[in-house]
Amino acid sequence: METKHENPNGDVKAAMRDFLSAFESFKQSNDERLAAIETKKNDPLLSEKVERISKALSDQKAALDRMALASQRPAVAPAREDAEKKQAILSYMRKGDASALHAIERKSLNAGVDAEGGYLAPEPTERIIAAAVRDISPIRQIATVREIGVTSFKKPVSLGGGAAGWVGETGGRVETATPALSSIEFPTMELYAMPAASQTLLDDAVVDIEQWLADEVQGEFAAQETDAFVNGDGTNKPRGFLSYTKVAEAVRAPGEIGYIATGAAGAFAATNPADTLLDLIYAPKQAFRANGRFVMNRKTLSAVRKFKDSDGNYLWQPSVAAGSPSTLFGYPVTEAEDMPDIGANAYPIAFGDFTRGYLVVDRQGVRILRDPYSAKPFVLFYTTKRVGGGVQNFDAIKLLKFAAS
């Protein structure tokens, strides 16, 4: 099975030049489209060209980000105490020889067979997989990620009630109320992938088996994670921020996600469509706007990319350096393909401080179980990790609803 890689030593500067050149082409074509509309000579081919360039922009930006991340990723050097574990797991993966792993088990209880089956990967292997998944998991990149050693994480939250007040030097002190505390629990769920390898590949000493496994599972892990972090219902998967109760921001209660309506069913408002984006920006409190960002999918970004201000300047601007995000109204934009498309009563755009708003919980440890029997002549590697997630601060994330109210 052949795996394609982004070249980590690719010419990032050349890719950046191509990206900026594509943006200039997009602006020119879109300006021509708008001029044609004003003269009532709308050309479908011109509109199609704008959409094609917009899609190319998104593809080039994604490739540019991957190249920048690859060039900045430090090499993972195993610690001396991990070397024995690494050689043991590699022997197990290549040949199915678990004797070295059993020897490690007898010396240390923190490595070896997990109760659910499979062998715990050594920390360097786990870090390689974690780094690969993070590079292509957009919500993981912007959320808070916490590693735990148990099956769930409980976060205490204040429900208010702790009172304070002013008093004179000799005035009586009224007893204040006791603060009310509660907790939010984030259980971890099992996420798995099952890549297959030929014995020829496993016997090839040149092949980096750890990197091969990371490359094989990263796409599956990242795709499943991103969908769950956005849309997950919390049953055998993390709970996505779109699955919580959503109400108009003006009447929002604790534990609910507030939204701003566009004022039009399934669309932006016909006049001054970008004004609702400004309303969305100012829906969170100032403390959450400072680190705020937009989250939307490619189709929604394609529509937003055409908006201009009163001076004719595009509101969306490309990144000024490789690895940095594009911006909208000066705020970063994260593309998450699992966000819904624009439609009636849909929530295609989110804005807020996702670092404070959304929590990803990783249970420490990646397990690997070698299966040479189920798919002969290939060897399957049942690879699992436990991940949880959910909203940890409902004040930090706001949504844009495409509806009249």
Are 192 and 267 found together in one domain? yes
Say what the pLDDT of residue 314 is: 94
Confirm whether 136 is domain-assigned: yes
Write out pLDDT tens, residues 105-135.
666 554 444 444 678 887 878 888 888 898 8
User: 377 and 245 share a domain?
Assistant: yes
Tell me, yes or no, whether 224 and 108 share the same domain.
yes
Q: Determine the pLDDT at residue 64.
A: 62
What pLDDT is attached to residue 343? 97
What are the φ/ψ torsions at residue 96 (nearest 5 degrees)? 80, 15
Q: Are residues 44 and 110 in the same domain?
A: no
Report the SS3 class of residue 298: helix
Residue 315 lies in a domain: no
> DSSP letter at 375?
T
User: Which domain-ending residue is among 72, 100, 117?
Assistant: 72
CA 165 to mean position of chain CA atoms: 42
Verify that 60 and 101 share a domain, yes or no. no
**Is residue 124 domain-shared with residue 261, that is, in the same domain?**
yes
CATH number of the domain that 372 lies in?
3.30.2400.10
| Residue 372 tokens, joined | 């040479």
* Whole-angstrom distance, CA of residue 256 vs CA of residue 259: 10
Average pLDDT over every residue of 255-282 = 96
Amino acid at 394: F
Are residue 206 and residue 265 in the same domain, yes or no? Answer: yes
Q: What is the pLDDT of residues 151-196, one digit of tens each?
A: 999 988 766 555 677 888 877 777 766 666 678 999 999 999 999 9
| 54 occurs within a structural domain | yes
Q: Are residues 49 and 118 in the same domain?
A: no
Task: Indicate whether 302 belongs to any domain.
Answer: no
If you average pLDDT over residues 262-268, what whole number do you get? 95
Mean pLDDT of 24-43: 66
Last residue of a domain, one of 43, 72, 101: 72
Inside any domain, residue 44: yes
Shared domain check, 68 and 88? no
Q: Which of 50, 72, 94 is the last residue of a domain?
A: 72
| Same domain, residue pair 247 and 153 | yes
Confidence band, pLDDT 50/70/90 cuts, at residue 3 = very low
Answer yes or no: do 37 and 155 share one domain: no
Predicted confidence at residue 37, as pLDDT, reads 63
Which range of residues forms the domain containing residue 260?
78-159+185-297+336-405
* Distance (Å, whole) CA 32 – CA 50: 10
**Looking at the 3D structure of the chain, how many domains does it have?**
2
Query: Can you tell me whether residue 9 is helix, strand or coil?
Result: coil
227 and 150, same structural domain? yes
Tell whether 7 is covered by a domain. Answer: no
The model's confidence at residue 70, banded by pLDDT at 50, 70 and 90, is low
Q: Evaluate whether residue 111 is within a structural domain.
A: yes
**Percentage of the chain exceeding pLDDT 90:** 53
Q: For residues 106 and 109, give the distance between their C-alpha atoms in angstroms, rounded to a whole number.
A: 7
Q: Give Cα separations from 150 to 21, 264, 363, 388, 391 (angstroms).
A: 49, 47, 7, 12, 20
Residue 42 located in a structural domain: yes
Q: What is the per-residue pLDDT for 89?
A: 83
Q: What angle do CA 395, 239, 154 make, to 5 degrees?
A: 75
